[in-house]
Amino acid sequence: MEQRFDVGQLIPAGYKAMLGVHSYVQGCGLDLGLLELVRLRASQINGCAFCVAMHIPLARQHGLSEHQVNLVATWKEAPVFSPRERAALAWTEAVTVLVGQEVPESVYAQVQAQFTPEEVANLTLCVGEINTWNRLMVASRTPPVLA
């Protein structure tokens, strides 16, 4: 597939703004491995090859095991995720795929049991950030960078 357009080249101020959101999320205090887990799962859901290819090595770099990286798509059945990671993954899926235009109370209760209100807000911003990157890369048909 041929790339349609280059977001960074065409709208550098918008791209820079997105990098600012990314910078905030990186420094918000949540574990970087957890943030990469969230980014990887949302990217899988959204079918963003560029972002999946980017976040797999970053997940490894920030401490996720090979089992976690390999099993994130099937996290509900995989015994390699902590309760905190499971809550973050459930939240990621619910916020990424807004079924009935809402996030279920049961998922909110799960994330609330593992994260402070500030952490939930930061986690939600991370989900929003990666969903925006996914949409930019999918719409522009930006190909994955393969090492």
pLDDT tens, residue by residue, 82-119? 999 999 999 999 999 998 889 999 999 999 999 999 99
Provide the mean pLDDT of the chain: 97
Is the residue at 76 inside a domain?
A: yes
Is the residue at 1 inside a domain?
A: no
Cα angle 106, 98, 100 (rounded to 5 degrees) comes to 80
> What pLDDT was estimated at residue 99?
83
Kindly indicate the confidence band of residue 28, based on its pLDDT and cuts at 50, 70 and 90. very high
Task: Choose among 25, 30, 22, 107: nearest CA to 63.
Answer: 30
Is the residue at 87 inside a domain?
A: yes
Is the residue at 89 inside a domain?
A: yes
Is the residue at 130 inside a domain?
A: yes
Burial (CB count within 10 angstroms: exposed 0-12, middle 13-18, buried 19+), residue 128: middle
**% of the chain at pLDDT higher than 70:** 100
- Whether residue 147 has pLDDT greater than 80: no
Mean pLDDT value of segment 21-39:
98
Is the residue at 146 inside a domain?
A: no
Is the residue at 147 inside a domain?
A: no
Is the residue at 63 inside a domain?
A: yes
Task: Please name the residues in contact with 39: beta carbons below 8 A apart, sequence gap of 6 or more.
Answer: 51, 55, 58, 126, 130
75 and 86 Cβ atoms separated by less than 8 Å: yes
> What pLDDT was estimated at residue 17?
98
Kindly indicate the confidence band of residue 1, based on its pLDDT and cuts at 50, 70 and 90. confident
The Cα-based distances of 50 to 40, 70, 75, 85, 134 in angstroms read 11, 17, 21, 23, 8
pTM comes to: 0.95
The range of the structural domain enclosing residue 122 comes to: 8-140
> What is the number of domains present in the chain?
1
| CATH number of the domain to which 44 belongs | 1.20.1290.10
